């Protein structure tokens, strides 16, 4: 199986500004870990695509696999280096549905009523994948099984857990945390953690 090396792991200093290292992998999500029924799992792929699709977990996990070696950076300031994920590269999805040229972003929906927005160039970066295994062991439900997106180049909140729905859209639309003050983009190397409050200077207030 091909192993893709995430380019950020080749930096001389692999720890972005304001981050510190952890060996453990914390579990974070809005609310508690959902009850997951893998036998009824459906992944929808819809929006600006030539042909919308719904896939069962069996169909999805039968797609070709890759391994990705990458680091994770959480906006709460922990970073975990040297991860090897195995799963389905996001580029495989592009071939499945033929994305229309007007599409510029994807809204990734996951349990429960959660979403995050990602520009397509970052979603289709070669180190971005739907992870099924981490360090050669199946990803557990706490970390987003059965399908967990990993976007190594952005803060970890963009890496949706329990992914159920990929919605391709033309314009950027803020997801769950992005509506609540997280940065619309989330590049850890630029410390795009939170969005700035609106600039009221000059308004007379």
Distance, CA of 74 to CA of 187 (rounded, Å) = 11
For ligand MTE, the binding residue among 85, 114, 123, 130 (CB under 6 A) is 114
Residue 108 CB, nearest approach to ligand MTE (Å): 9
Query: Pick from ligand MTE, Mo ion, none: which does 114 bind, CB < 5 to 8 A by kind?
Result: ligand MTE
Is 111 a residue that touches ligand MTE (CB under 6 A)? Answer: yes
Which residue's C-beta sits nearest to ligand MTE? Answer: 110
Query: Pick from Mo ion, ligand MTE, none: which does 143 bind, CB < 5 to 8 A by kind?
Result: ligand MTE
Question: Residue 59 forms beta bridges with which residues?
Answer: none
| Ranges of H-type helices in 43-172 | 57-61, 90-97, 120-123
| Ranges of H-type helices in 14-165 | 57-61, 90-97, 120-123
Burial of 159 (0-12, 13-18, 19+ CB in 10 A): buried
Q: 7-36 mask for ligand MTE (x: CB under 6 A)?
A: ------------------xxxxxx------
> Could you give phi then psi for residue 99, rounded to 5 degrees?
-80, 135
Residue 24 CB, nearest approach to ligand MTE (Å): 10
Helix (H), strand (E) at residue 19: none
Between residues 104 and 174, which has the closer beta carbon with respect to Mo ion? 174
145-174 binders of Mo ion (CB under 5 A): 157
Burial of 39 (0-12, 13-18, 19+ CB in 10 A): exposed
48-87 binders of Mo ion (CB under 5 A): none
For ligand MTE, the binding residue among 86, 160, 168, 178 (CB under 6 A) is 160
Residue 74 CB, nearest approach to Mo ion (Å): 6
Distance, CA of 84 to CA of 153 (rounded, Å) = 15
Between residues 32 and 203, which has the closer beta carbon with respect to ligand MTE? 32
Q: Which residues would be at the binding site for Mo ion (CB under 5 A)? A: 28, 157
């Amino acid at each position: 199986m091909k192993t893709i090396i995430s380019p950020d792991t080749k930096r001389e200093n692999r720890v972005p500004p304001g981050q510190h290292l952890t060996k453990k992998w914390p579990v974070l999500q809005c609310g508690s870990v959902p009850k997951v029924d893998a036998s009824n799992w459906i992944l929808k792929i819809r929006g600006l695509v030539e042909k919308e699709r719904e896939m069962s977990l069996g169909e999805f996990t039968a797609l070709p696999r890759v391994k990705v070696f990458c680091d994770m950076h959480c906006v709460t300031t922990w970073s975990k280096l040297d991860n090897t994920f195995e799963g389905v590269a996001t580029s495989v999805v592009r071939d499945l549905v033929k994305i229309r040229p007007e599409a510029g972003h994807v809204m990734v929906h996951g349990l429960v009523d959660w979403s995050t927005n990602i520009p397509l160039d970052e979603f289709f970066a070669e180190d971005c994948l739907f992870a099924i295994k981490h360090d050669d062991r199946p990803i557990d439900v706490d970390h987003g099984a059965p399908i967990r997106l990993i976007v190594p180049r952005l803060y970890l909140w963009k890496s949706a857990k329990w992914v159920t729905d990929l919605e391709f859209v033309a314009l950027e639309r803020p997801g769950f945390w992005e509506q609540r003050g997280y940065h619309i983009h989330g590049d850890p190397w630029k410390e795009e953690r939170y969005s700035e409050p609106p600039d009221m200077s000059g308004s007379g207030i």
